[in-house]
Structure 1
Amino acid sequence: MNYIYIDIHTHKSKNKFAIQNLFHNEHIPCNNRLFSKALHPWHIDESNFNLQLSELEQELNLDNIIAIGECGLDKLKGVDLKIQEKVFEWHINQSEKLKKPLIIHCVRCFNEIIELKLKFSPNSTWIIHGFNSKVGILQQLLKHNFHISLGINILANPKKLKQYLEIIPLDKLFFETDESDIKIEEIYITASKGLNIEVPDLVAIIEANFRKIFDISD
């Protein structure tokens, strides 16, 4: 039986049920794939970001752009954090206007991300991609109704994976391959063992999450 393995964030996967991430200046292929697109915090041009955003805005309303991202905040790389916050707030507004989920890149800025969520009180879903931080931070994110996407880092750390899966509600959970060549199926298999449920059951849960949040009906 062919299962639908949803990959919420990838730069490489050709899986039909994957959301392929596109950076702000990448061309949108003419095919039936699903995409997310945004101005990544690493790529913000400090002297020209308004033009970058203006050009990006023209594409975000396309039907096959089903999410805004990845965008967010990064204390280790990129322009001044105040500029990053201004750009991220622009993406938040686009997410709300277009009613599309936000896929978030966050490096050592979880407090700031939570504060912005409280400030904007968004209706759109906010998804932290590739979460790999402390359990206490995860608990705070869940308290504020974030969804969590887990990636390849869980394959190398079963203990951390177990801690994550013990507290992430199944209806808040996604998986991703990001820039890895690893197949998304491997992540599902590892997570199913951590959850002590069958792979087909986990696949069905994540598919239901996907269809609900991204309003996918077929």
Structure 2
Amino acid sequence: MEIYANMYLWRQIDVLREDFPKLAVLLGDEAFYTLGKAFVHVHPSVHHSLSQLGRRLPQYLKEHPGSRPDLSDLAALEWARAEVFEEAAVPTASPSMLREMAAAGDFSCASLELVPALRLLRFDSDVLDVWQQLEDGHPVPAAHRAPSFAVVWRRELEVFHVQVQADEAKALALASAGEPLEVVCAAFEDRGDPVEAAFRAIGSWFAEGWICEPEEETARP
């Protein structure tokens, strides 16, 4: 029984390592094993699949920051990347749709639907730089507080993430909540040219495949 229990523990830690590869590299094998063992003791798997095992790890690291205060942010980024990879693929709207909406004169009252394979994240640290240094195999800088926002999404079979400004993050959150574009665009009101900034940002959402293709309305008999 002890051998079986140890094998299952190692299996769970291996699953965590697959979902949080950068975190595992940053901590090193021994520290990651210690973290994994402590985590699964507090949050044992309750799902039929171990694929959901790491869902609470970012929050756990926020409550138990350990050696670096940015570990929670790194875990949140990696979990979001793992999640969007598994999300359903849906048809995305053509970039020309934005111009068509503006030309039709119904832009302000229209709303957008974000694709399922997208996450908007807020960080307390410059974790995107940490992730990139790990990706490139470079020494990781010391953690420092730098509140930021990022979008994580999947295009076909590849996962991406990018930092966005606070106003664009606010606009995305409003769009995700189903607010009309008039309200979404108001998030850019502090820019020098808010109209240009709004169209540029929203245009990039279409170009990157963040917007669902609208469903065709069923014709009435």
Radius of gyration: which is bigger?
2
Structure 1-normalised TM-score?
0.30
TM-score by length of 2: 0.30
Q: Which has the higher helix share?
A: 2
